[in-house]
Structure 1
Amino acid sequence: MRVIGITGWSGAGKTTLVTKLIPALAGRGLTVATMKHAHHGFDVDQPGKDSRLHRDAGGREVLVASGRRVALVRELAPDEPEPSLGALLARLSPADVVLVEGWKGWAHPKIAVHRAANGAPPLHGTLASVRAVASDVPLPDAIVPVIDLDDVEAIADAVLRHGEERDTLLPALQAPVMTLARPKRRDDEI
C-alpha cells in the first residue's frame, strides 16, 4: 500500500483533486483507499436509524454491514486522544494506493495543493514532507516539482512516484511532527 497525502490550506481544492485522482488511479487498474481528516465534529449516521439508536444508547463502537458496504463508527471517550495517523492507516483494508487528505503536520509524503486565489502561501517551503505541488499558477521559486493542477494524469504519476509503503511509514506516524495554522490574509483583518 503506497501512501501519500494531499494537503493544502482550506479552500485550495484538496477534495476536488482527490475525487479526480481516484478514477485516474482506478483507471490504471489500481485499488484506491482514502482518508479524510475532519477538524470539527462529523456524523456518518442518520438520526432515527437503528445504528444511530445503538450509538445514542451508549454503544462505543457500532458496526453496520450489508452485502455491499461496511461502516464502523467509534465514539471517543472525552479524555481519549484522537487516534494517530499510523493507528488509522493500520486499520485500513489492503489497497494499492491510499490518498490521505489533511493531516498536514504528520511526516508522510505529500502533494501540496496550491490555488492562487485562495490567498495562502504554498506549503512546499513549510513542510519538509511535501514532494510536489499541484498549482494553478507557476511557482518559479518552488523547491519541489510543480504540476499543473488541471493535469490529473501527471499528478497521478506523482502519487505513484512519491508515495511510500504504509508499513515503512507506520513507525513515524504515531504523532504529528508539527502543527500549522493558516496565515492571516489581508482581507481577514478587515
Structure 2
Amino acid sequence: MKVFGIIGGCRGKAGLVQGLVRHLTAKGLTVSTIKRVGDDLDLDRPGKDTYCQREAGARQIIVANSFRWALMHERTDLFDEPEVEPLVARLDPVDLVLVEGFRLAPYPKIEVVMAGSDRRRQQLDDPTVIALASDLPLELPSDCFDLGDITGIARFIERHAARFRAAVPA
C-alpha cells in the first residue's frame, strides 16, 4: 500500500479528497481514506445502544448491517493526535490510502490553501509538505496546483505516495 496526506485548515480538503477518490477509482485503483475529525465530534449519540455500551465500559464496538460495518475504539491513552500507522495497518490492502488532516503524519503531503485564509502554511516549516493546491495563484518553489486540477494532483500523488511502513495495530 502507498500513503499520501492532504492537509490544510480549510474547507477545500474534503472536496479535494472526494474528487481524488472518484478520479483514482475510475482509473481502476483501489483507494481507502482516513480522516482526522475534531475531538469534539462523537460518532455516537446519547441514548443509543452503542453509546450506552461505551458508557458501560466497552472498549470496542462494531456496528454492522448488510451494507457496511464500522469499528469504534475507545482510546485510553492521552495523545493529542492518533498515530496514522496503526490506523492504516487496520485497513484491508489497497493501492492508495489518502490521509486527510493528519498534519503530523510522516508521509508526503499536499497542503490546501484557500482564499481568505490567514493561517500560516505548514509547508513553510514541514519538509513532508511537497506540494500546494489552492484556489489562489501561488508562486512558490514547491509544486503548486489549481485546486480544481484533480487529474494533475492525482498524477502527482501517484508518483510521490510513500510505501506504508507496517506497524503493530494499537
Same fold, TM-score > 0.5, yes or no = yes
Q: Distance in 2 between matches of 1:64 and 1:26?
A: 26
Q: After alignment, is 147-156 or 112-121 more displaced?
A: 112-121
After TM superposition, which residue ranges in structure 1, 4 or more long, deviate above 3 angstroms? 46-49, 79-83
The aligned residue for residue 150 of structure 1 is 148
What 5-or-longer segments of structure 2 have no aligned partner? none
**TM alignment of 1:8-157, pairs within 5 A:** 8=8, 10-77=9-76, 79-81=77-79, 83-140=82-139, 142-157=140-155
The aligned residue for residue 184 of structure 1 is none
C-alpha offsets along residues 78-119 of structure 1, whole Å, 9 cap, x if unaligned?
A: x54354211111111212111111121232100111113212
Please report how far the alpha carbon of residue 30 of structure 1 lies from its aligned counterpart in structure 2 after TM superposition.
Answer: 1.3
Q: Distance in 1 between matches of 2:158 and 2:32?
A: 14
What 5-or-longer segments of structure 1 have no aligned partner? 172-190
Per chain length, whose mean CA-contact separation is higher, i.e. which structure has more relative contact order (CA < 8 Å, sep 6+)?
2
Q: Distance in 1 between matches of 2:89 and 2:104?
A: 19
Q: Distance in 1 between matches of 2:82 and 2:124?
A: 27
TM-score w.r.t. length of structure 1:
0.78
Q: Secondary structure at the match of 2:15?
A: helix
C-alpha offsets along residues 114-150 of structure 1, whole Å, 9 cap, x if unaligned?
A: 113212343322210012111122222x222111111
Q: What letter is aligned with 1:105?
A: L
Q: Distance in 1 between matches of 2:121 and 2:75?
A: 34
Q: Distance in 1 between matches of 2:136 and 2:49?
A: 49
Q: Secondary structure at the match of 1:19?
A: helix
Please report how far the alpha carbon of residue 22 of structure 1 lies from its aligned counterpart in structure 2 after TM superposition.
Answer: 1.2
TM-score w.r.t. length of structure 2:
0.87
Q: Distance in 2 between matches of 1:47 and 1:120?
A: 35
Q: Distance in 1 between matches of 2:148 and 2:27?
A: 18
Judge conservation of contact 1:12–1:118 (CA < 8 Å) in 2: no
Q: Secondary structure at the match of 1:159?
A: helix
C-alpha offsets along residues 8-66 of structure 1, whole Å, 9 cap, x if unaligned?
A: 1x225111211211111111111211111124232222444332232232211111222
Judge conservation of contact 2:10–2:113 (CA < 8 Å) in 1: no
Q: Secondary structure at the match of 1:42?
A: coil
Please report how far the alpha carbon of residue 75 of structure 1 lies from its aligned counterpart in structure 2 after TM superposition.
Answer: 1.2
Judge conservation of contact 1:125–1:143 (CA < 8 Å) in 2: no
Q: Distance in 2 between matches of 1:80 and 1:120?
A: 26
Judge conservation of contact 2:24–2:154 (CA < 8 Å) in 1: yes
**Is the aligned partner of 1:2 residue 2:2?**
yes
Q: Distance in 2 between matches of 1:19 and 1:73?
A: 23
